[in-house]
Structure 1
Amino acid sequence: MRTTLREEQLQALRRLDACTLANAIETFHDRLRNEGFVDHTVRSLFPELAPMLGYAATVKIRGSAPPTTHGSYPDRTDWWDYVESLPAPRVVVVEDTASRPGLCSLVGEVHMSILRALNCVGVVTNGAVRDIPAARSVGFHYFAGSVSVSHGYVHIIDFGQPVKIGGLTIQSGDLLHGDLHGVQSVPLAIAPQIPAVAARMVAREQALIALCRSPDFTLAKLRALLAQTSK
């Protein structure tokens, strides 16, 4: 069983923007600085929303080609039980495994509504999403590689297994944070310590920014403050 965080710990992480969170994680040397986040191929469609935080429910789909024997693929609902089995809040992470991701869409207004009822706060996918106004109106996060008009021949081929989105391998139950800058994983082992580290870093940065905006700024003062704050 994976570690889960208390509500107050989740709230403290949710208050952090993605850049501050990434800076704080770096201080633990838990991973390389160019790892742990989804690359530029997946963007937030609603950058105005407050940060998203939740445990990953992983799904693999395909949908670029029609079935060979019937008019449509069978609808699966068994993965909803898997989503509900995870701790809340939840983020559905959908890997489109087609050679051309984005020719189908699993999540639109109806499925988004189902996922919200399952205590999901957003979706992250290398593929497509749709029904953008409906998701925006309820504050449901969309992080996607593209937008589609059609659900295509979308069908689920697996769930609960590792997926790869924008270069990041995501395991079922991973803690994910996302805002207008992008999506990153939060190591659960250090997660409770991150907000305090972030607060100290922000205080140091604000002191430097204040000096840079001051009419009394000099390079000598900047170097002195850097030396002081690095201790």
Structure 2
Amino acid sequence: MLEERYYPNPTQADPELIEAFRALPVANISDNLHRLSGAVGLRPFHDGTPMAGTALTVRTRTGDNKAIHMALDLLRPGDVIVVDGGSDLSRALIGEIMTSVANMRGAAGFVLDGAVRDVAALAKSSFPCFARTGIHLGPYKNGPGEINVPVTVGGMVVNPGDIVVGDADGVVAFPQSIASALLEATLAQSAKEDEILSGIASGHYVGAYGASKS
């Protein structure tokens, strides 16, 4: 049952780690999470700018954004506001005004399991915003809601303080405790893929089963 619960902000991730993950493809990060962690059904509504930051989590009542307004007063530069809206598509929980406030306060982005509005304005913005769909109908503002609790977005569990990364392919999240090892593995994969693509460009490709193709 949804309650009115607001907990302190988690410790933010190392800024150098965040910047390193921002430069990596979400698909490669996902591969090194054994392809098990990822939000399904969310897509970018902004201009495609990559996103990375620390999760500030919110759970809302269906169609209600009171808790998101409260989260805007708690966010720190580098936070990603991750909203469990219950996958409800009947009312937009955020729009141009709230994303503008979040951007002005230094947020790294919004990840929303629900709907947004002002879609045309969001599409022109470089401020990352991921959601399920757009709709003109606005939200209620009565609560209750919860902040800094475990949430689910697109079937992916996100805990307060997790690192959240998003790009045109979607969104992944993972604990800070595995970030260094995950970064090393993802960098290695990205280097290997760059080598493969270079080979393809030169007319040579070694297939998945080791057969040389050219």
Classify the secondary structure of the residue corresponding to 2:176: coil
- 1:70-149 aligned within 5 A: 78-84=70-76, 88-97=77-86, 101-149=88-136
**Unpaired segments ≥5 residues, structure 1:** 27-32, 66-72, 226-231
Match of 2:15 in 1: 7
In 1, Cα distance between equivalents of 2:175 and 2:68: 31
- Residues 89, 133 of structure 2: 8 Å contact kept: yes
Match of 1:42 in 2: 42
- 1:1-231 aligned within 5 A: 4-23=12-31, 25-26=32-33, 33-39=34-40, 41-46=41-46, 48-64=47-63, 78-84=70-76, 88-97=77-86, 101-158=88-145, 159-215=147-203, 222-223=210-211
Instruction: Tell me by how many angstroms 1:89 deviates.
Output: 0.7
| Corresponding letter in the other structure for 1:173 | G
* CA deviation profile, 1:16-54 (whole Å, cap 9, x unmatched): 11112223x34xxxxxx3422101x211223x4231011
Instruction: Tell me by how many angstroms 1:140 deviates.
Output: 1.5
Instruction: Tell me by how many angstroms 1:204 deviates.
Output: 2.2
In 1, Cα distance between equivalents of 2:161 and 2:81: 10
- Residues 38, 168 of structure 1: 8 Å contact kept: yes
| Corresponding letter in the other structure for 1:95 | D
In 2, Cα distance between equivalents of 1:169 and 1:92: 14
- Residues 10, 160 of structure 2: 8 Å contact kept: no
TM-score by length of 2: 0.78
In 2, Cα distance between equivalents of 1:74 and 1:6: 30
- Residues 61, 157 of structure 1: 8 Å contact kept: yes
Classify the secondary structure of the residue corresponding to 1:93: strand
> Which 4+ residue blocks in structure 1 deviate beyond 6 angstroms?
73-76
| Corresponding letter in the other structure for 1:131 | D
Task: Return the index of the structure with the highest Cα Rg.
Answer: 1
In 2, Cα distance between equivalents of 1:216 and 1:110: 51
Instruction: Note closer, same or farther for the CA distance 1:114–1:156 as it changes in structure 2 (3 Å cut).
Output: farther
- Residues 205, 212 of structure 2: 8 Å contact kept: no
Instruction: Note closer, same or farther for the CA distance 1:224–1:74 as it changes in structure 2 (3 Å cut).
Output: closer
Instruction: Note closer, same or farther for the CA distance 1:137–1:201 as it changes in structure 2 (3 Å cut).
Output: same
Instruction: Note closer, same or farther for the CA distance 1:3–1:142 as it changes in structure 2 (3 Å cut).
Output: closer
Classify the secondary structure of the residue corresponding to 1:83: coil
Instruction: Note closer, same or farther for the CA distance 1:59–1:223 as it changes in structure 2 (3 Å cut).
Output: same
Instruction: Tell me by how many angstroms 1:183 deviates.
Output: 0.5
In 2, Cα distance between equivalents of 1:157 and 1:81: 16
TM-score by length of 1: 0.73
| Corresponding letter in the other structure for 2:191 | A
Match of 1:69 in 2: none
* CA deviation profile, 1:4-26 (whole Å, cap 9, x unmatched): 43322221111111112223x34
- Residues 82, 160 of structure 1: 8 Å contact kept: no
Instruction: Note closer, same or farther for the CA distance 1:205–1:153 as it changes in structure 2 (3 Å cut).
Output: same
| Corresponding letter in the other structure for 2:37 | G
